[in-house]
């Protein structure tokens, strides 16, 4: 089964971001090869929903990180090789026959471009094969490596001992080939064993991605998540933070089937949205088998993730914010009703309606969610009054809040999660700080005089 | 002093912007010539603050509204002539003659196109001036015409004895000497007069086009009163950009200077507030308004807060952005200016208790400024219960009528505080709870 998510979620979490702006993808998108970047993007498009696959990928990246493996290929080689392989026209095949006198004279005056492409392509493939061979032997297949049990790696290393790659390995790349020899290689590489060559290249691109991720994990101090059995329905995450923020404050959280709803409160600017985004990003990356911005993470694999953090009003079609929220909840409810176990984040539920409605709706929806013990919900709200009712009604809700400390009249935010429901109401203090009421009063007096 | 409307206000009401979809400017921008468009932009950017000036302008619109004229020129004609005239000619006739002679010579020898161009420009100008003369003649000595002075000036220019030859020179062939003479006359001797004439025609274009548009839309004109009274009354206030918009009456005066507006989502609160704001702005421009029997004391400016953007880059939350906006308006109001102030969904970005306290405190403090007019909408209907004892507040709401399970909105203001709470109904209609139960 596929891991499901949607555009709204990816936008909320800033997975792809806007063109030219920082995003979660751009955090990792530092591959040496162009095709590596494409594979990376594909991985972002399709997170995994299978614990075994996730742990396997984690194992591989973890190993590369421990071995501090560097990508040993020069990225120019791939441009040359791809350009060479791109031409599948039989007529361009290099013929072994001696060229006519006319042709030789022409090539004296201007070098034959096609010949050059073939020559540099074959040379590049030789170099790639040699580097890959030594990488496999020295690093990937060292003792205790997870690559040993990776079927693709094993069959790739098998390919290296067969024709035509074994022939490539015998050559030295800088050495100039005779025309006949080059023609033989051209036929082998570009036509007869084309699929094998492309498979090997794809494998190298994949390696590029893994090595890049391992490097990012090392540089940023990210940690590898552990996927546990789906049936446990847990998420345990220690000291996670937002990977795009500098000096981000870390928080820990534990979600279990008997505490599967986190009811989050806190003043404005206390960091509710950032907290939710950090958690969403960690869950998303974990399902890709990528390292996460945390100290430790264990999680049961979910079937999907849905967030609602910055919901746009769709005024064009006449839907108000409230209605947009209702439709969003309906979408999530539909997913839940198919029996999927999903991870859901709702920021500021029902902010677009009057208090009474928001209060009733929050209680109704949250208690309905509470019955779905196998899914996980993070819900934040301003309607703190709803918390008291929910506490009575649903035992599986965990109440958390982000506190505000008053330093004199100035609010300070700790960004550190605490248990309970907030009773911080500093809105009036902010208004008083800005001196709005005095301003109006003073102005009135001045006019009266 | 100019009428105050800051960037946030202009955006909330979507007033300016030629290329912005559905902006009020593009709604009214039905003029033919680009000169008139420039004038229109100027009027939109600078509403008036003087009752006499406003009434003068609206009188002109009214006049053309009743006249049902059409402006028979297109932009190409005018821009070409404008271009020709503004290029200027030489100061001395012989120099002009020699210059043209040289161009003509070059034209025959090396196919230079300058002479042809000058000739075309001149011929176009002659043709246009003849047409103008014809157009202006339909304004008889109509003393009621508030635009009469300008029309008379133009008439006098066109009937100037120096221009008598105009009617006879429509054949399209001109000798070199004639060309030089006319060229010198039009572009040097009478340069100022003709610039004045073109300018007046741009104004005619603007007044006629806008008045015609107003007639098709059944718009009316507002009457400006001196600033002192703080009065504003109108019936059938509607959104000029919405077809079949529902109209509502509005009435403000010194002892009733604030509307406290409630109503469900989608009931039309924001649209009502925008309609009011737009019409106030248009009225201050002396423009036609989408309202009937509108009378208003001239104000010094308008401030709205309808879609306050979060400024997350500066680290502001929505609540703080609102507080800053309220503060800015408080500064303006307390400096003694008489303003129109519109706050939509005050303090929606905070918790209920805070929003309640803040709405009460701020609303009460603002309402003391009897020289200003306020419309404040909120979801915190509980605040209304406390505020309704203040006699200068009008409690109004936009109702929701339940048609079986489906909410319908009549968009008609009613007195009182809304008690409609159909949020849960919408949730039930969507069948979400059943989905989750299953």
Interval B402-427: pLDDT, tens: 787 677 889 999 999 887 667 777 78
| Complete DSSP assignment for B226-250 | -GGG--EEEEEE--TTSTTPPPEEE
Residue of B nearest to A350 (CA): B423
Statement to judge: residues B354 and B212 lie in one domain: no
A348 min Cα distance to partner chain B (Å): 9
Q: Residue B433 belongs to a domain with what CATH number? A: 3.40.50.300
pLDDT digits (tens, 9 = 90+) for B377-407: 987 888 888 888 888 999 999 988 878 767 7
Q: Does one domain contain both B127 and B152?
A: yes
Record: contact A439-B334, CB cut-off 8 A: yes
Q: What is the pLDDT of residues A336-361, one digit of tens each?
A: 988 899 999 998 887 767 777 888 88
Give the whole-angstrom CA distance, residue A192 versus residue A188: 5
CA-nearest residue to B322 within chain A is A431
Task: Give the mean pLDDT of B73-90.
Answer: 86
- Domain tally for chain B? 2
* B271 & B172 share domain: no
Residue-wise pLDDT for A212-253, tens only, equals 999 999 999 999 999 998 889 999 999 999 999 888 899 999
**Which range, A15-19, A283-287, A335-339, B183-187, has the best average confidence (pLDDT)?**
A283-287
Q: Which residue, B193, B216, B239, sits at the end of a domain?
A: B216
Lowest mean pLDDT of A111-115, A363-367, B130-134, name the range.
A111-115
Stretch A378-399: mean pLDDT: 90
Question: Do B105 and B54 lie in a common domain?
Answer: yes
Q: Domain A7-220, what fold? A: MutS, DNA mismatch repair protein; Chain A, domain 3 (1.10.1420)
Cis peptide before A164 (omega within 30 of 0): yes
Q: Do A439 and B366 make contact, defined as CB atoms within 8 angstroms?
A: no
Alpha-carbon torsion angle B267, B268, B272, B275, nearest 10: -160
- Its ipTM equals 0.70
pLDDT band of residue B290 (cuts 50, 70, 90) is very high
Contact B266 A443 (CB under 8 A): no
For residue B286, the enclosing domain spans 218-437
Torsion of CA B135, B137, B140, B142, to 10 degrees: 50
**Average pLDDT value over all residues in chain B:** 87
Residue B207 lies in a domain: yes
The domain limits of chain A are 7-220, 226-441
Pick the residue from chain A with its C-alpha nearest to B383. Answer: A355
Calculate how close chain A gets to B212, using CA atoms only, in Å: 29
- Are B204 and B257 within one domain? no
Q: Are A213 and A28 in contact (CB under 8 A)?
A: yes
Q: What is the CATH number of the domain that holds B88?
A: 1.10.1420
The reply to whether B322 and B238 lie within a common domain is yes
Residue B213 in this model has a pLDDT that exceeds 70 = yes
**Residue B147: its pLDDT value, please?**
87
Is pLDDT above 60 for A315?
A: no
How high is the pLDDT of residue A312? 64
* 8 Å CB contact of A431 and B358: yes
Mark yes or no for CB contact B426/A268 under 8 Å: no
Q: How close is the nearest chain B Cα to the Cα of A271, in Å?
A: 10
Kindly report, residue by residue over B37-64, the tens digit of the pLDDT: 999 999 999 999 999 999 999 999 999 9
Q: Is the pLDDT of residue A317 over 50?
A: no
pLDDT for the residue numbered B215: 94
Same domain for B223 and B190: no
Which of B216, B231, B246 is at the close of a domain?
B216
Closest Cβ–Cβ partner in A330, A364, A425 for B354:
A425
Confidence label for B312 from pLDDT (cuts 50, 70 and 90): very low
Residues B264 and B174 in one domain: no
Residue of B265, B333, B348 lying closest to A320 (CB–CB)? B265
Co-location of B295 and B420 in the same domain: yes
Q: Is A269 in Cβ contact with B335 (below 8 Å)?
A: no
Query: pLDDT at position A90, please?
Result: 79
Distance CA B67, CA A9 (A): 59
Please write the tens of the pLDDT for every residue from A45-70: 999 989 999 999 999 999 999 998 89
SS3 B267: coil
Query: Given an 8 Å threshold on Cβ–Cβ distance, is B432 in contact with A425?
Result: no
Q: Does one domain contain both B59 and B18? A: yes
Closest CA to B178 of B124, B133, B129, B122: B122
Q: What is the mean pLDDT of chain A?
A: 87
Above 80 in pLDDT, residue A40?
yes
Residues B38 and B143 in one domain: yes
Mutate to test the interface with A, among B352, B360, B384, B430 (most CBs of A within 10 A): B352
Enter the pTM of the model: 0.71
What is residue A313's predicted lDDT score, i.e. its pLDDT? Answer: 53
Q: How confident is the model at residue A182 (pLDDT cuts 50, 70, 90)?
A: confident
- List of chain A residues whose C-beta atoms are within 8 Å of the C-beta of residue B424: 357, 360-361, 364
Is position B150 within any domain? Answer: yes
Q: Residue B89 domain-assigned?
A: yes
Please give the Cα distance from B72 to B131 (Å, whole number).
9
Among residues of chain A, what percentage have pLDDT more than 90? 48
B26 within some domain: yes
Examine residue B1 and state whether it is found in any structural domain, yes or no.
no
Task: Determine the distance in angstroms separating the CA of B355 from the nearest CA of chain A, rounded to an integer.
Answer: 8
**CATH dotted code for A226-441:** 3.40.50.300
A371: chain B residues, CB-CB within 8 Å: 436-437
Which is higher by pLDDT, A281 or B433? A281
Q: Which is more confidently placed, A142 or A378?
A: A378
What pLDDT band is residue A203 in, cutting at 50, 70 and 90? very high
pLDDT for residue A175: 67
**Residue B309: band (very low, low, confident or very high) from pLDDT cuts 50, 70, 90:** low
- The pair phi, psi for residue B165, each rounded to 5°, is -65, -15
For the ranges B46-50, B140-144, B236-240, B309-313, which has the lowest average pLDDT? B309-313
Q: Residue A388 pLDDT > 70, yes or no?
A: yes
Closest of A423, A420, A355, A432 to residue B352, by C-alpha: A355
End residue of a domain, out of B184, B216, B248? B216
pLDDT digits (tens, 9 = 90+) for A400-439: 999 888 787 677 889 999 999 887 667 777 788 888 888 8
The residue ranges of DSSP E strands in A274-363, in sequence order, are 296-300, 304-308, 342-346
> What is the spatial distance between Cα A316 and Cα A447, in angstroms, rounded to a whole number?
44
pLDDT at residue B122 above 60?
A: yes
Is residue A264 a contact partner of residue A402, using CB atoms and an 8 Å limit? Answer: yes
SS3 B8: helix
Instruction: Collect all residues with Cβ–Cβ distance below 8 Å to B337 and sequence separation of at least 6.
Output: B4, B300, B301, B372
**Residue in A226, A301, A232, A279 with CA at minimum distance from that of residue A400:** A279
């Amino acid at each position: 089964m596929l891991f499901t998510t949607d555009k709204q979620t990816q936008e909320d979490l800033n997975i792809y971001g806007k063109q030219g702006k920082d995003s979660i993808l751009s955090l990792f998108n530092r591959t040496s090869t162009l095709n590596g970047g494409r594979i990376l993007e594909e991985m972002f498009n399709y997170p995994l929903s299978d614990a075994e696959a996730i742990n396997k990928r984690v194992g591989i990246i973890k190993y590369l990180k421990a071995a501090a493996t560097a990508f040993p290929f020069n990225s120019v080689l791939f441009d040359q090789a791809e350009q060479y392989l791109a031409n599948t026209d039989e007529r361009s095949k290099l013929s072994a026959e001696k060229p006519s006198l006319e042709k030789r004279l022409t090539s004296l005056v201007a070098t034959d471009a096609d010949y050059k492409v073939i020559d540099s392509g074959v040379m590049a493939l030789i170099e790639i094969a040699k580097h890959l061979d030594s990488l496999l032997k020295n690093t990937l297949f060292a003792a205790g490596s997870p690559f040993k049990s990776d079927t693709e790696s094993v069959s790739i290393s098998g390919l290296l001992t067969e024709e035509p790659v074994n022939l490539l390995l015998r050559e030295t790349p800088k050495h100039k080939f005779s025309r006949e020899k080059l023609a033989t290689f051209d036929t082998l590489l570009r036509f007869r064993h084309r699929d094998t060559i492309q498979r090997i290249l794809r494998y190298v691109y994949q390696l590029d991605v893994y090595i890049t991720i391992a490097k990012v994990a090392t540089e940023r101090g990210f940690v590898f998540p552990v996927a546990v059995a789906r049936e446990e329905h847990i998420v345990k995450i220690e000291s996670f933070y937002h990977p795009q923020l500098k000096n981000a404050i870390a928080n820990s959280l534990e979600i279990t089937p008997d505490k599967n709803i986190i009811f989050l409160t806190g003043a404005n600017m206390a960091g509710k949205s950032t907290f939710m985004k950090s958690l969403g990003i960690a869950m998303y990356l974990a399902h890709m088998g990528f390292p996460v911005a945390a100290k430790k993470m264990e999680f049961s694999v979910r079937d999907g993730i849905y967030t609602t953090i910055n919901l746009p009003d769709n005024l064009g079609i006449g839907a108000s914010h409230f209605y947009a929220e209702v439709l969003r909840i309906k979408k999530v409810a539909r997913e839940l009703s198919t029996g999927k176990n999903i991870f859901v984040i709702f920021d500021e539920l029902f902010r677009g309606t009057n208090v009474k409605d928001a209060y009733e709706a929050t209680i109704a929806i949250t208690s309905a969610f509470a019955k779905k013990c196998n899914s996980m919900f993070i819900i934040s709200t301003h309607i703190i009054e709803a918390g008291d009712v929910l506490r009575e009604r649903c035992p599986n809700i965990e109440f958390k809040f982000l506190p505000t400390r008053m330093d004199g009249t100035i609010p300070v935010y700790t960004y550190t999660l605490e248990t309970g429901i907030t009773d911080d109401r500093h809105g009036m203090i902010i208004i008083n700080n800005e001196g709005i009421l005095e301003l109006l009063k003073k102005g009135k007096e001045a006019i009266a005089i | 002093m100019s009428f105050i409307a800051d960037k946030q206000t202009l955006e909330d009401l979507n007033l300016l912007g030629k290329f912005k979809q559905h902006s009020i400017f593009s709604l009214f921008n039905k003029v033919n010539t680009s000169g008139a468009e420039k004038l229109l932009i100027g009027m939109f950017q600078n509403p008036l603050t003087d009752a006499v000036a406003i009434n003068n302008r609206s009188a002109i619109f009214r006049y053309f509204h009743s006249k049902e004229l059409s402006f028979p020129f297109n932009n190409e004609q005018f821009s070409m002539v404008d271009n020709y005239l503004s290029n200027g000619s030489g100061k001395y006739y012989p120099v002009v003659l020699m210059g043209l002679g040289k161009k003509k010579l070059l034209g025959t020898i090396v196919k230079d196109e300058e002479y042809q161009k000058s000739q075309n420009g001149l011929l176009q100008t002659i043709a246009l001036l003849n047409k103008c003369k014809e157009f202006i003649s339909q304004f008889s000595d109509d003393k009621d015409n508030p635009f009469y002075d300008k029309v008379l000036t133009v008439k006098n220019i066109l009937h100037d004895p120096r221009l008598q030859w105009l009617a006879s020179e429509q054949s399209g062939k001109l000798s070199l000497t004639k060309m030089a003479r006319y060229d010198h006359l039009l572009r040097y001797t009478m340069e100022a007069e003709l610039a004045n004439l073109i300018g007046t025609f741009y104004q005619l274009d603007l007044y006629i086009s806008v008045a015609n548009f107003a007639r098709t839309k059944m718009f009316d004109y507002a009457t400006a009163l001196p600033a002192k009274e703080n009065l504003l009354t109108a019936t059938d206030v509607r959104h000029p950009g919405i077809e079949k918009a529902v109209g509502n009456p509005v009435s403000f005066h010194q002892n009733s200077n604030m509307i406290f507006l409630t109503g469900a989502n989608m009931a039309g609160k924001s649209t009502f507030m925008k309609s009011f704001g737009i019409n106030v702005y248009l009225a201050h421009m002396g423009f036609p308004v989408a309202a009937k029997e509108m009378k208003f004391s001239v104000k010094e400016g308008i401030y709205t807060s309808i879609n306050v953007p979060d400024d997350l880059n500066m680290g502001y939350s929505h609540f703080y952005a609102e507080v800053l906006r309220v503060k800015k308006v408080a500064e303006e109001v307390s400096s003694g200016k008489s303003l129109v102030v519109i706050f939509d969904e005050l303090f929606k970005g905070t918790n209920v208790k805070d929003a309640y306290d803040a709405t009460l405190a701020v609303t009460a403090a603002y309402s003391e400024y009897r020289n200003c007019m306020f419309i404040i909408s909120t979801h915190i209907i509980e605040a209304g219960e406390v505020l309704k004892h203040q006699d200068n507040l009008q409690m109004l709401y936009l109702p929701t009528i339940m048609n079986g399970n489906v909410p319908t909105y009549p968009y008609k203001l009613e007195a009182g505080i809304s008690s409609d709470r159909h949020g849960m109904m919408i949730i039930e209609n969507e069948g979400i709870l059943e989905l989750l139960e299953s």
